[in-house]
Every structure is written in C-alpha cells, then in structure tokens.
C-alpha cells in the first residue's frame, strides 16, 4: 500500500514538472482566434494573474513555460494572460 502511495505521489510530481499532455503539444498560432480553438480561456503565466480587461467567459490554462515561450507576444494588455476570452 505504501508503494502505491509513493508511486502516485511521484506521478503527480512528474506531471507538475513536465506539464499536461495538451500543453506539451504547443504549436505556433497566427492569432488569438486560432489559439482559442485549443485554449478557450487563453494561457496564463501564473494562477495569480488577474485579467485587467474585465470579466471572461472561460478559465485560462496556467502554464508559465508555454506563456513565456509561445503566448507572451499575444498578451496585448500585459496582464499575464494571453488571449483571454
């Protein structure tokens, strides 16, 4: 039983380090319309990022690595959330 607990904890830690499978499949997007097909709420660099543009319909995916590598250029209002909707 203890081995299963450690195995589950290890799997959770690995998923946090390497991210979700969807996030690993990052591709280049021409614009926010294309990005929202895969990430309806946009991509945030941290959980504490606050949308300064008002209410949003969807919750953004939080992934600092993806945000900085791919989506930072699409964050027009510089609030830490790219293509929020």
Write out the H or E segment, with its range, that includes residue 47: none
pLDDT tens string 41-71? 999 999 999 888 778 889 999 999 988 887 8
Write out the H or E segment, with its range, that includes residue 62: strand 61-62
Residues 38, 22: contact at Cβ < 8 Å?
yes
pLDDT for residue 5: 43
All structural domains of the chain with their residue ranges: 20-82
| Radius of gyration over every alpha carbon of the chain, rounded to an integer in angstroms | 15
- Please indicate whether residue 55 or residue 23 has the higher confidence score (pLDDT): 55
pLDDT for residue 25: 55
Using 50, 70 and 90 to split pLDDT, how confident is the model at 8?
very low
Residues 2, 7: Cα–Cα separation, whole Å: 9
- Give percent above pLDDT 90 in the chain: 39
Residue 4 structure tokens: 């299963």
């Amino acid at each position: 039983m203890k081995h299963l607990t450690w195995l589950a904890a290890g799997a959770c830690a690995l998923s946090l380090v390497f991210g979700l499978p969807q996030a690993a499949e990052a591709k280049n997007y021409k614009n926010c319309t294309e990005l929202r097909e895969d990430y309806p709420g946009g991509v945030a660099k941290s959980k504490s990022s606050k949308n300064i543009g008002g209410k949003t319909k969807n919750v953004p995916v939080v992934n600092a690595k993806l945000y900085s590598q791919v989506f930072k250029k699409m964050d027009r209002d510089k609030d830490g959330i790219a293509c929020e909707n």
